[in-house]
Amino acid sequence: MQNLTWKTLNDQLADLTETEVKDLLEEEMRHARRSTILVRLHQRFTVLRMLRERAAIMEMINESAGTISTSR
């Protein structure tokens, strides 16, 4: 994402993958170091990571129990 502004970040953040958000976070830390952008990227990254990790945990539980998951 070139010329990362608050508006472009908010417009596109929901559509980015965990890897893309992590890459943006690392790039922001290396270059511009804008605290508000860093916080927002980190917030989104942790949500995406949590969702991935939770899905893996639930899959592991379902495989070992032989059940179908129910979401809460």
> How confident is the prediction for the chain on average, in pLDDT?
91
Which pLDDT does position 42 carry in this prediction? 98
29 or 68: which leads in pLDDT: 29
**CB atoms closer than 10 angstroms to residue 24:** 22
User: How many whole angstroms separate alpha carbon 27 and alpha carbon 22?
Assistant: 9
Q: What is the mean pLDDT of residues 53-70?
A: 85
In the chain, domain spans:
6-64
User: How many whole angstroms separate alpha carbon 62 and alpha carbon 48?
Assistant: 21
**CB atoms closer than 10 angstroms to residue 59:** 11
pTM: 0.81
Q: What is the mean pLDDT of residues 15-34?
A: 97
